[in-house]
Structure 1
């Protein structure tokens, strides 16, 4: 596969990952509890709603698919950064950073919806206090995962800044996103929105790079040697 096609597919994978991650988090929110001040009656109503339970059941697989596509995008991003930096090892941090974000996000959402899954059976009686604790644990893990987003943005911004391919305002905006991601506990949902917007910009940039990348030259197949040429010439004998 030529380089332009690989980058284009990685870019579209990043675009699809944004949609799936947003949908997965939204599905988990239908039964999750991220506000400990929610009343006991409201918590139990969310947990015992069959429609909400069924919708939340799709949250983990949708998130897993989104994370897989994000990893695909990060490999393409690493390839672009390798080209810009001339092989700087810093570019290789992009994939582990995306994996850190994805792993903690899936774990956090799974904890948040675990009580609803257990309430689906008749063997579990939901306790609002337990649900609050699991919901807050999931929120803490999800916000911790934003550190991976901060690393991903910081590495990309640093390399593109050194290569002088970004305007000054874009560099400073990207560093602001890094600060928001690293302070996710205090910025709340603002950091998640900021990273999503940055990721949209990164996807658009990768698709542009893919259009500017020339396709790989076709390599002609090696011609088979002629039957006569493959024969060993007879050895000359002296009289």
Structure 2
């Protein structure tokens, strides 16, 4: 497979990962408990609702597919950055950092939805306080995984800044996104939304790099902008 086609497929994998991850989070939210002030009756109603249990069951496979596509995209992003930087070793952290985010996100969502799966068996009597604790633990773990996203954003921004392929405003905006992600749990949903928007831009950048990667790629450097 030629390099242009590989990058194009990695870019579309990134686009697919955004859609699947958003869908998985939405499905998990239907049954997860991330608000400790929710009443006991509301918690039990969520856990024992057949429709919400089905949503949780569908959410984990969707999440797994989204994670796989995100890791595929990370390999393509690393390839683009490697060419832009001339082989900077800093690019080696891209895939492990993405894997950190993916692993902690899966763990967090599993903790949050585990009680619903147990209730599905009709052999589990949920304790609302335990469900609250698991829900908050899942939220903390998943949001802490944003540290991996922060590393991806920071490394990408640094290399593209050195290569002068992004406007100054985009560089500093990316650094803001990296700072939000690196604050992990404390930045909450704001960091998640910021990373999702940044990821859209990164996908576009990889697809553009694929378009500019000709058979004589040695004479045609990739660009993200």
Give the TM-score band, short-chain normalised: over 0.9
* SS of residue matched to 1:33: coil
CA distance in 1, matches of 2:179, 2:48: 39
Displacement after TM superposition at 1:186 (Å)? 2.1
Task: Give the aligned partner of residue 127 of structure 1.
Answer: 127
> In the aligned structure 2, how far is the partner of 1:135 from the partner of 1:151?
26
> TM (normalized to structure 2)?
0.94
User: For the residues of structure 1 that align with 2:196 and 2:122, how far apart are their CA atoms?
Assistant: 39
Aligned 8 A contact 1:3 1:216 in 2: no
Give TM-score scaled by structure 1 length: 0.89
Indicate the SS of the match to 1:34.
coil
Q: For 1:53 and 1:94, locate their aligned partners in 2 and report how far apart those are by CA, in whole Å.
A: 35
Match of 1:85 in 2: 85
Question: Structure 1: how far apart are the matches of 2:117 and 2:94?
Answer: 34
- Specify the alignment match of 2:57 in structure 1: 57
Distance 2:116 2:186 in 1: 27
- Aligned with 2:139: secondary structure? helix
Aligned pairs, number: 217
Work out the CA distance in 2 between the residues paired with 1:169 and 1:150.
18
- SS at 2:132's partner residue? helix
Separation in 2, partners of 1:117, 1:177: 34
Cα shift readout 1:177-234 (whole Å, capped 9, x = no counterpart): 01110113222100000000000000011111111110369xxxxxxxxxxxxxxxxx
1:15-164 correspondence runs (5 A)? 15-164=15-164
- Give the Cα–Cα distance (whole angstroms) in 1 for the partners of residues 83 and 197 of structure 2: 24
Which structure 1 residue ranges, 5 or more long, are not aligned? 218-239
User: Larger radius of gyration, structure 1 or 2?
Assistant: 1
- What is the CA-CA distance between 1:122 and the residue it aligns to? 2.2
C-alpha distance in 2, partners of 1:182/1:66? 22
Runs of 4+ residues deviating >3 angstroms: none
Structure having the higher helix fraction is 2
Q: Deviations over 1:136-159 (max 9, x none)?
A: 010010111000000000010001
Distance in 1 of aligned mates of 2:161 and 2:116 = 46
In the aligned structure 1, how far is the partner of 2:216 from the partner of 2:26? 41
How far the C-alpha of 1:126 sits from its partner, in A, is 0.6
Q: Is the 8 A contact 1:4 1:213 kept in 2?
A: yes
| SS, match of residue 145 in structure 2 | helix
Matched with 1:206 is: 206
